[in-house]
Amino acid sequence: MKISILAFDLADNATGRAELLARLLRPRYEVEVVGPRFGDDVWEPARGSETPYTAVPARRYPGFVRAAREIVRRADGDVLYASKLRPTSYGLALLARTRRRRPLLLDIDDWELGFFYRASGWGRLGRALNLSNPNGLPWTWLAERLAGRADGLTVASRFLERRFGGILIPHVRDTDAWAPERFDRATARAALRVRDERVVMFLGTPRGFKGVRELIEVVGTLGPGVVLAFVGVSPTSSLGPSMQRPWVRTVPPIPFDDVPRYLVGADVVALPQLATPDTVGQVPAKLFDAMALGRPVVATTVSMIPEILEGCGLLVPPGDVPALGAALRRLLDDRDEATRLGRLARARCVERYSFTTARAALFLLVERVIAASKLSPIRAAGNAATRS
């Protein structure tokens, strides 16, 4: 049984969600990830994956039509699974289903229209008129209108569950492989170029709506013995100039499986998401990285983060810089409290956000849509007559 996962842009960090779905499914099914690649190469952390990737070079309309045809042709699994409610993943999955009658699953890990609604009225109008972008506002709006045509649905947050329905599959982690005792803290700290300093860490792609600028400034007020480590920063990041501070360390993008080798060197992990249309339906995947490795977390009360960290992390209001600084200082100064929260966070991750718990729900959904797709003799005869 083969599952084709359709990703919306294999050069983008959203490939991480497609990779996660592939890892969840691999023990039971043959899995391939296929999709357009709008950049120069596949997203770096996924390049060493055991999952086969088929990346089709793509550009804007009208040139995208050729790439779309190739992706639809290559999406030949017995089950189609679109990662993201975007035209270049879900839209192409709908087209692939018309080519080969297959059950179609849709995974939604972001409210995609929220990224457009952050703009001003004039900015939104300009995006609405940008018809050449295959993932532009009008095409993404249309994709959301068609969400109900999927045979099954998974979502990554409570907001998305309320908006679209479906089965909740957060950004879970392999808590067996990511056990803290398997990784050497001293080696991690050497890789981060620190010795006795205390380390606040931010994982993943730094972007403005993630509160990165506020985090840089607040860590600079915590004293000369504290550094801020960014792990996974592209050299071309637009926030690069903001990181040119003496208390900031940066590590370029690394393979997904190398994340624990750096993360275990953190004293505190910070996730200062801002409250914007981008983040209302979003849960940072790196939250679960930190929890799996038993790292204490300071995060904001955005989306379902309060539910996830209840009793096992520190929460502050989004955009409240003094509160963020106070919470970071508290855990940096009280190592016993930090250790206790890290231990509780890992236990929560094992219990609710592990591969084991996610697979139980996901395998059941896949088997259900496969069973439901079996055509009765009457329907099969009708379809054959239609094709003839």
**pLDDT tens digits for range 200-255:** 999 988 888 899 999 999 999 998 999 999 998 876 676 766 778 899 999 988 99
Per-residue model confidence (pLDDT) at position 375: 38
pLDDT at 379 over 80: no
Phi/psi for 121 (5° steps) reads -55, -45
Is 230 found in the same domain as 264? yes
Q: What percent of the chain has pLDDT over 70?
A: 92
Handedness of CA 159, 162, 168, 169 (dihedral sign): negative
Is 230 found in the same domain as 298? yes
Rg (CA), the chain: 22
pLDDT at 104 over 70: yes
Is 200 found in the same domain as 101? no
Segment 152-181 mean pLDDT = 96
Q: Which residue has the higher pLDDT, 277 or 197?
A: 197
Per-residue model confidence (pLDDT) at position 6: 98
Tens digit of pLDDT for each residue in 286-313?
999 999 999 999 999 999 999 999 999 9
The answer to whether residues 231 and 259 touch, using CB atoms and an 8 Å cutoff, is yes
* Boundaries of domain holding 364: 2-172+356-387
Is 234 found in the same domain as 113? no
The Cα–Cα gap between 97 and 76 comes to 9
Residue 133, Cβ density class (10 Å: 0-12 exposed, 13-18 middle, ≥19 buried):
middle
Tens digit of pLDDT for each residue in 56-102?
999 999 999 999 999 999 999 999 999 999 999 999 999 999 988 89
Is 164 found in the same domain as 254? no
The answer to whether residues 198 and 227 touch, using CB atoms and an 8 Å cutoff, is yes
Residue 309 is part of a domain; what is its CATH number?
3.40.50.2000
The Cα–Cα gap between 119 and 126 comes to 10
Tens digit of pLDDT for each residue in 182-213?
999 999 999 999 999 999 999 988 888 899 99
Is 230 found in the same domain as 331? yes
Is 154 found in the same domain as 239? no
Is 217 found in the same domain as 276? yes
Q: How confident is the model at residue 117 (pLDDT cuts 50, 70, 90)?
A: confident
17 φ/ψ sector (left φ>0, alpha ψ -120 to 50, else beta): alpha
The Cα–Cα gap between 332 and 294 comes to 15
For 314, the enclosing helix (H) or strand (E) is strand 314-316
Q: How confident is the model at residue 131 (pLDDT cuts 50, 70, 90)?
A: confident
Is 228 found in the same domain as 97? no
The Cα–Cα gap between 196 and 303 comes to 35
Q: How confident is the model at residue 385 (pLDDT cuts 50, 70, 90)?
A: very low
pTM of the model: 0.89
Per-residue model confidence (pLDDT) at position 261: 96
Q: What percent of the chain has pLDDT over 90?
A: 80
Q: Which residues, in sequence order, are CB contacts of 258 under 8 Å at separation 6+? A: none
Per-residue model confidence (pLDDT) at position 190: 94
The SS3 of residue 276 is coil
Amino acid letter for position 300: T
Is 62 found in the same domain as 127? yes
Is 213 found in the same domain as 141? no
Q: Which residue has the higher pLDDT, 115 or 69?
A: 69
Task: Tell me how many domains the chain contains.
Answer: 2
Q: How confident is the model at residue 272 (pLDDT cuts 50, 70, 90)?
A: very high
The rounded mean pLDDT for the chain is: 91
Is 105 found in the same domain as 73? yes
